[in-house]
Structure 1
Amino acid sequence: MSSINPKVSAMFFDQIVTVMDHNIAWEKIQNLLCNLYGEATYNCWLSSLRFVSSKNGEVLLSVPTRFIKEWVTVHYMEKILSLWQNEDKSIHSIDIQVTEEKNSSSDAITRNREESNHNLGSPLDPRFTFDNFVVGKPNELAFTAAKRVAESIDPIPGSNPLFLYGGVGLGKTHLMHAIAWHIVNAPSAKRKVVYLSAEKFMYQYITALRSKDIMLFKEQFRSVDVLMVDDVQFISGKDSTQEEFFHTFNALIDQNKQLVISADRSPSDLDGVEERIKSRLGWGLVADINKTTFELRLGILQAKVEQMNMYVPKDVLEFLAGNIESNIRELEGALNKVAHTSLIGRSMTVESASETLADLLRSNHKSITIAEIQKKIAEFFNIKVADMHSNRRLRGLVRPRQIAMYFAKKFTQKSLPDIGRSFGGRDHATVIHAVKQIENFIKTDSSFADEIDQLKKMFK
């Protein structure tokens, strides 16, 4: 009777222990992913991940579809690897294999639909739902129109196509995704929805031409129930793509199918787009999304903080809402950046937020000239602009002049010598003295500080 080699037995035992340890580690990582990205995102993209094995520093995970594998690889792989390395420093890479799971027939149908839509269109972001969209006066019409289209089984007369337009980062894509999610998740989810960018539409068309599959391309796009094309201004100047888009548009309208289109400008302002296309894009409901107001920006920040389940002081939120006016993406990015300062032990204050976001704040401030500052301060204090340049030392002139120098330092990129020269040829030391004087008064005199706050609003 042969005896068991003790070394082999020990190695086998070590392997079992390692697998057990990694199973425990994976459970911990799953919980961290759920907390980090939220339950909705986790359930949509990460819950189907399964731990398979680990060998020689490589972890093998599995997912049920190629679509999920590609999405996880692009959007979450770096974070998953980082979490694994926190648990086991020997882990250097992660691979994902596709393993079809034997689920119910309804699950299989859902996966097949996801695969089909992925091949034809683009993935939907689970964060972009109607519930997560903050409504205010600038986007109220667009939101209401989008909701009506999403909830209606058949196209609404006068709303086909629905054309959404507005500047970058104001919520067009969010509403497009929200419409698609609402239709896909409807109890009777039988309508085929395809969402994609105009750029992807063009590249799929070019690919079909090269592979001589143009009839398949036409059949695919003409068989959808709801076609959603984002950033349609991209087809400007692309004649062949416009021709195909025109025929696709007409075919779907003739079949009483819904179209939802977005762009960064109204149909009539789409330069480089054929008149017949601009005319058809304006057939239905054209809803613009205007620049956000302070109240809407504050509401968006408050909703974001609630989603993140964290505390951010009210004055910090108001500071961000008042200073980041460009678009919602930059606003949310600024909030994330400020919120992460707490992870390194810094308190969240207006001052720390101002330091953290210095570059972003500079780019959001309007381009203000020293001449404009001098003019507005002179008007406020009822003095002449010439008094800003004079050497007269009257108290009624010195203080407004110092305030103007303070704002010149705060709101322009001019050097101290340049600022001094703009105030009657004064040197940089005079400018430094003026700035310090105003800063001291702000700290020690509350009524003066209020006056400065009032003046600041003239430059926003």
Structure 2
Amino acid sequence: MLNALWNDFINKNEQSKSLVPMVASILKQTRLIEIKDGSVLLACPNQGSRIYILGKLTLIERLFSAHIGKKTKVETVIQLVPPKKRTVATSPPLLNFQPTVEDILSRSGLSQKYQMENFAVSPTNQVAYAAAQAVIERPGTAYNPLFIHGGVGVGKTHLAQAVAHSIINIDPNKKVYFCPGDQFTNELIDSIRGKTTEKFRKKYRHLSLLIVDDVQFIAGKTGIQEEFFHTFNSVVSVGGQVILTSDRPPQEIKNLEDRLRSRFGGGLVLDIQPPDFELRCAIVLIKAKEKNVEINIEAARLIAERVIDARSLEGALISVYAKIIGKKEIIDLEAVESYFSQQTDRVTKKTEFPEVIRAVCSFYNIKSSQIRGPLREEKIATARQVAMFILRTVLKINLIEVAHILKRRDHTTVIHGVKKIQRLTMLNPIFKQEVDRIIQSVVSST
């Protein structure tokens, strides 16, 4: 009864356009548990869908109240919701061969570790997560292609592969393939050399789901773009889904043919921002659980505070754990503080100032001559002050030496620059993330 009511509510509001496809797709993953005294209890399959629904709660409450004719308040809980299996009426095969998980992963190019269940969701990626859920619910029709862009380590590959896993779980017979952009390029070149292009096309053009990671690698290669254009069209024309990831949106990919740029932007283009503090903390806890490592929340929060790059979080966790084996049973605040203290000492001793200059210039896309020069435009001035801040606070170089490195007249300029960056990092969390990311790149290079 409750399920019928809930499904009717979703379907009617989806048809009337009151619910956009993305919201409807997420709601179809939920289950109505109880209606009592104007309170509605909704079961969400995971934390990601719950976070997304909480952001749409006012809309859902308004529409559901109108649907049942009385004011309601929606509450959510996390509760496993069995996935809806898609069944196709076919004659039973003579021999019912069920491929193993290993078989499916081997032929699809997927990694077992990337699942929707262990994808940590926060405001920085919840729209991408919701879009992925919509694709799982309606592959080939919801958003085709789904184009996800963002920096290194923000979760693009994880989310794309998680969609593939979910689709295979629903129907193991789906033809799914994941490949990096450079792999597509190399396979095509090899097929031309070996005169096996028909085999190559048969592999790629008849898929239910094609995922190309770092698709920007095909840009600038005329023959590769020509083949990918026809591959893309073939997959979409038979109702298949295409998911693309890149480090930048389609309009910013240099030397990409206009027809491909048009195709890439023809579905849904969205970005994933670098993980915020709460998301990084969640990632640490998830990774610890996966590896059966005990860690208290204070220790997890300190790792999340000190490590900005998502990919480096797991490495930091493993490094701390390696240091406590045989000494402690749980990673605590003391263990993490000791680890980062040693890291700071190592960076201070090994890092030379040119590495800091290179990291800052790379981040702000300027030349080292500009950072040491007289120009005062905002971008260059900020980069110069960030360099001062890192040289002074991380490498512990004295004020006079910092002024000399950056070719400033006296050390009072350095004092002003360091104080300004300290103030900005306190007032602007996004700017703090940027500075921390530069520091992390310096640490990683030593």
TM-score by length of 2: 0.57
The answer to whether the aligner puts 1:178 opposite 2:150 as a matched pair is no
Would the aligned equivalents of 1:117 and 1:193 in 2 still touch at CA under 8 Å? Answer: no
Q: Which deviates the most, 203-212 or 315-324?
A: 315-324
Pairwise CA distance, 1:411: 3.1
Would the aligned equivalents of 1:338 and 1:348 in 2 still touch at CA under 8 Å? Answer: no
Higher-Rg structure is: 1
Pairwise CA distance, 1:275: 1.3
The answer to whether the aligner puts 1:110 opposite 2:99 as a matched pair is yes
Pairwise CA distance, 1:131: 0.3
Structure 2 counterpart SS, 1:137: coil
- After superposition, give the CA deviation of every residue in 1:320-355 in whole Å (9 maximum; x if it has no partner): 212212x21112211221122111637752430212
Pairwise CA distance, 1:318: 1.9
- State the match for 2:64 in structure 1: none
Pairwise CA distance, 1:424: 7.0
Pairwise CA distance, 1:105: 5.6
Work out the CA distance in 2 between the residues paired with 1:221 and 1:406.
50
Work out the CA distance in 1 between the residues paired with 2:356 and 2:283.
18
Match of 1:352 among 335, 338, 341: 338
- State the match for 2:121 in structure 1: 135
Pairwise CA distance, 1:210: 1.1
The answer to whether the aligner puts 1:160 opposite 2:144 as a matched pair is yes
How many matched pairs? 289
Task: Name the one with the larger helix percent.
Answer: 1
- After superposition, give the CA deviation of every residue in 1:259-307 in whole Å (9 maximum; x if it has no partner): 1111111111111211110110000011210111111111211222233
Pairwise CA distance, 1:218: 1.4
Pairwise CA distance, 1:181: 1.0
The answer to whether the aligner puts 1:147 opposite 2:147 as a matched pair is no
Structure 1 counterpart SS, 2:325: helix
In structure 2, the CA distance between the partners of 1:319 and 1:222, relative to structure 1 (3 Å rule), is same
Would the aligned equivalents of 1:164 and 1:286 in 2 still touch at CA under 8 Å? Answer: yes
The answer to whether the aligner puts 1:258 opposite 2:264 as a matched pair is no
Would the aligned equivalents of 1:367 and 1:412 in 2 still touch at CA under 8 Å? Answer: no
Work out the CA distance in 2 between the residues paired with 1:314 and 1:222.
48
**Which letter maps to 1:228?**
I
Match of 2:172 among 173, 189, 204: 189
The answer to whether the aligner puts 1:308 opposite 2:291 as a matched pair is yes
- State the match for 2:203 in structure 1: 220
Alignment of 1:287-436 (within 5 A): 287-325=270-308, 327-343=309-325, 345=327, 349=334, 350-358=336-344, 409-412=392-395, 414-415=397-398, 418=401
Would the aligned equivalents of 2:206 and 2:238 in 1 still touch at CA under 8 Å? Answer: no
- State the match for 2:78 in structure 1: none
Q: Which deviates the most, 271-280 or 357-366?
A: 357-366
Match of 2:231 among 225, 245, 248: 248
Work out the CA distance in 2 between the residues paired with 1:455 and 1:156.
45
Unaligned runs of 5+ in 1: 1-103, 369-404, 427-452
RMSD in angstroms over aligned alpha carbons?
Answer: 3.7
Unaligned runs of 5+ in 2: 1-93, 362-387, 413-421, 433-446
Work out the CA distance in 2 between the residues paired with 1:296 and 1:262.
21
Would the aligned equivalents of 2:213 and 2:246 in 1 still touch at CA under 8 Å? Answer: yes
In structure 2, the CA distance between the partners of 1:263 and 1:367, relative to structure 1 (3 Å rule), is closer
TM-score by length of 1: 0.55
In structure 2, the CA distance between the partners of 1:319 and 1:300, relative to structure 1 (3 Å rule), is same
- State the match for 1:8 in structure 2: none
Pairwise CA distance, 1:196: 1.1
Work out the CA distance in 2 between the residues paired with 1:226 and 1:351.
45
Structure 1 counterpart SS, 2:124: helix
**Which letter maps to 1:155?**
G
Work out the CA distance in 2 between the residues paired with 1:364 and 1:328.
21
